[in-house]
């Protein structure tokens, strides 16, 4: 199990090389569904710094336990429970639900 800082996880999450305009119209087939809620599993390390927990997936890669939809949420809950039990540490499920678009990046 590896951990990354919350700031690093956010930087990775936001470092997309392609940004599209977001439409909130539900009747549009091409509309991008907004991320209004984000969940992540965190851990407070020995230095008292909160970090995002990571789990190894079948391909051998480590992925942060972050979710933006209910299916992935259930997956990170199960992974968090398994990590907490196997490592005998307390993990936290954190929800961010106040969205504020503060900038836009375009080519």
pLDDT at 4 over 80: no
Q: What is the mean pLDDT of the chain?
A: 81
Instruction: Output the pLDDT for position 60.
Output: 92
**CB 68, CB 38: distance < 8 Å:** yes
Instruction: Output the pLDDT for position 15.
Output: 43
Instruction: Output the pLDDT for position 106.
Output: 94
Residue 104 domain-assigned (yes or no): no
**Euclidean distance between CA atoms 14 and 34, whole angstroms:** 14
Q: What is the mean pLDDT of residues 3-31?
A: 49
Q: State which residues form the domain around 68.
A: 3-11+34-96
Residue 71 domain-assigned (yes or no): yes
Q: Render pLDDT for 86-103 as a digit per residue (tens, 0 to 9).
A: 999 999 999 999 889 999
Instruction: Output the pLDDT for position 29.
Output: 62
3-state secondary structure of 64: strand
pLDDT greater at residue 83 or residue 11? 83
Number of domains observed in the structure of the chain: 1
Instruction: Output the pLDDT for position 20.
Output: 43
Instruction: Output the pLDDT for position 82.
Output: 94
**Euclidean distance between CA atoms 94 and 7, whole angstroms:** 14
Residue 20 domain-assigned (yes or no): no
**CB 13, CB 6: distance < 8 Å:** no
Q: Which residue do the tokens 């930087």 mark?
A: 11
């Amino acid at each position: 199990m590896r951990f990354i800082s919350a700031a690093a996880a956010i930087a990775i999450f936001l470092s997309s090389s392609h940004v599209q305009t977001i439409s909130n119209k539900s009747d549009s087939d091409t509309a991008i569904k907004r991320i209004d809620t984000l969940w992540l599993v965190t851990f407070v390390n020995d230095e008292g710094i909160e970090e995002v927990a990571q789990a190894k997936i079948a391909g051998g890669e480590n992925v942060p336990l972050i979710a933006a939809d209910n299916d992935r949420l259930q997956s990170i809950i199960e992974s968090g429970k398994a990590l907490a039990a196997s490592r005998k540490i307390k993990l936290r499920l954190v929800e961010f639900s106040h969205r504020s678009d503060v900038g836009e990046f375009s080519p």
